[in-house]
């Protein structure tokens, strides 16, 4: 089995190991500082014998390093490994930050951690509670950053699973287990890489809360990620403020006000569209002669946003059928008044299918799309028969 150097020294980035196997681009050493994907934490990157390491996998035989290309060294050779420190330290910040947050969610909300995931841009922890309020999240974030400022020690110890006590979550392993502790805050069985003290976590920022399978998924970032995200948010906010010709602090109030005005205008627009549609519906209706079945078939082309309004207005009139279409995008709306004796959905669906279109609807109103303008015109032709 591979000697896992990161178990005892997460800050070790340069080491030498003896090659035990080489299978194409897959290399196993007698010892390594490279962390493999495990426990939700992503693998390390770096170089091995001067060749770039692109993935690290934990297998039964030991830790396998996947290289960018086949190495020149062979079994028995001693090779130098170099771990990408920027990536490693970022993972350490996120992982210790997760331990801190999990401990606080359990301590302050009695919410246990169900699972964790560390992504390239953010990390998540799923906690066993259906909802977390914004106030509760801010309270936990504030407490986490207080503990970061206190720079509490983070230590690693190896204990027998049968006698290890005080763990946040009981371990299902037997024999010796690795325990990561945050002084007076947390003790957890964990094989990941961690910082030496909470001060090295850097800022802790909770970004998002969402319900997930009767749990709450908490998205967070720590350290350099939090600074980078704060900078990106600030630049975005500055850009918005510039467009609105206002200061950053006034953006929320101004946006809320403009959003309210936009809603009022949209409501007024809908009323105007409906009023115009009613006028045009009566105009089309009066200009259309009834068919032999005493139904007035009104066929028009209109903008997409007008089709539904026209359909509603025309079918409110007696014995009327409406076929409205537009070619950008290729859309058709077919509607029929209740006393027309027509079933819009039943008539439109086969016409669409015959020309590669998709859609459907009910007896009164149906809608669909066509693959191109030629197919659209053919569908209209079927309906107008």
Angle at 170 between CA 167 and CA 176, to 5 degrees: 85
Q: Look at residue 304 in the predicted model and tell me its pLDDT.
A: 80
Of 36, 44, 57, 147, the residue nearest 91 (C-alpha): 44
Q: Look at residue 39 in the predicted model and tell me its pLDDT.
A: 84
Q: Where in the chain is the domain with CATH 3.30.980.10?
A: 89-240
d(CA 116, CA 218): 9
Q: What is the CATH number of domain 3-83?
A: 2.40.30.130
Q: Where in the chain is the domain with CATH 3.10.310.40?
A: 279-384
d(CA 233, CA 256): 18
Q: Look at residue 24 in the predicted model and tell me its pLDDT.
A: 96
Single pTM value for the model: 0.75
In the sheet that 296-301 helps form, which strands lie side by side, from edge to edge? 296-301, 320-327, 330-336, 365-369, 358-361
Q: Look at residue 308 in the predicted model and tell me its pLDDT.
A: 86
Q: Look at residue 170 in the predicted model and tell me its pLDDT.
A: 86
Q: Look at residue 303 in the predicted model and tell me its pLDDT.
A: 83
What is the residue whose two structure tokens read 């998924």?
217
Q: What is the CATH number of domain 89-240?
A: 3.30.980.10
User: Which tokens hold the place of 279?
Assistant: 């006028």
User: Which tokens hold the place of 29?
Assistant: 């050493």
Q: Which stretches in the chain have pLDDT values below 70?
A: none
Hey, what CATH class is 279-384 in? Answer: alpha beta
């Amino acid at each position: 089995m591979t000697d896992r150097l990161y178990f005892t020294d997460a800050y070790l980035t340069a080491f030498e190991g003896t090659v035990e196997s080489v299978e194409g681009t897959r290399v196993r050493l007698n010892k390594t500082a490279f962390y493999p994907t495990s426990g939700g934490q992503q693998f390390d990157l770096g170089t091995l014998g001067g060749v770039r390491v692109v993935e690290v996998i934990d297998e039964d035989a030991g830790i396998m390093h996947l290289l960018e290309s086949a190495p020149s060294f062979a079994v028995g050779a001693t090779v130098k490994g170099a771990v990408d420190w920027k990536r490693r330290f970022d993972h350490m910040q996120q992982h210790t930050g997760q331990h801190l947050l999990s401990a606080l969610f359990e301590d302050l909300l009695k919410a246990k951690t169900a699972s964790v995931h560390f992504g390239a841009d953010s990390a998540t922890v799923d906690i066993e509670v259906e909802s977390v309020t914004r106030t509760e999240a801010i309270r936990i974030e504030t407490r986490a950053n207080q503990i970061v400022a206190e720079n509490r020690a983070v230590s690693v110890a190896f204990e027998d699973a049968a006698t290890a006590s005080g763990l946040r979550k009981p371990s299902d392993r037997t024999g010796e287990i690795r325990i990561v502790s945050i002084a007076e805050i947390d003790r957890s069985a964990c094989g990941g890489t961690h910082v030496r003290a909470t001060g090295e976590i850097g800022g802790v920022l909770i970004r998002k809360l969402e319900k997930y399978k009767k749990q709450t998924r908490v998205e967070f970032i720590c350290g350099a990620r939090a600074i980078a995200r704060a900078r990106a948010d600030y630049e975005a906010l500055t850009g918005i403020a510039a467009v609105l010709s206002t200061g950053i602090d006034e953006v929320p109030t101004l946006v809320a006000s403009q959003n309210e005005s936009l809603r009022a205008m949209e409501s007024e627009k809908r009323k105007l569209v409906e009023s115009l549609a009613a006028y045009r519906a009566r105009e089309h209706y009066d200009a259309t002669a009834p068919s032999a079945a005493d139904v007035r078939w009104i066929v028009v082309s209109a903008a997409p946003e007008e089709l539904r309004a026209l359909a509603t207005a025309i079918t409110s009139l007696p014995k009327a059928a409406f076929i409205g279409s537009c070619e950008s995008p290729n859309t058709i709306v077919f509607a029929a008044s209740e006393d027309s004796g027509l079933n819009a959905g039943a008539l439109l669906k086969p016409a669409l299918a015959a020309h590669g279109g998709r859609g459907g609807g009910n007896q009164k109103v149906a809608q669909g799309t066509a693959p191109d303008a030629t197919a659209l015109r053919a569908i209209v032709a079927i309906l107008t028969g």
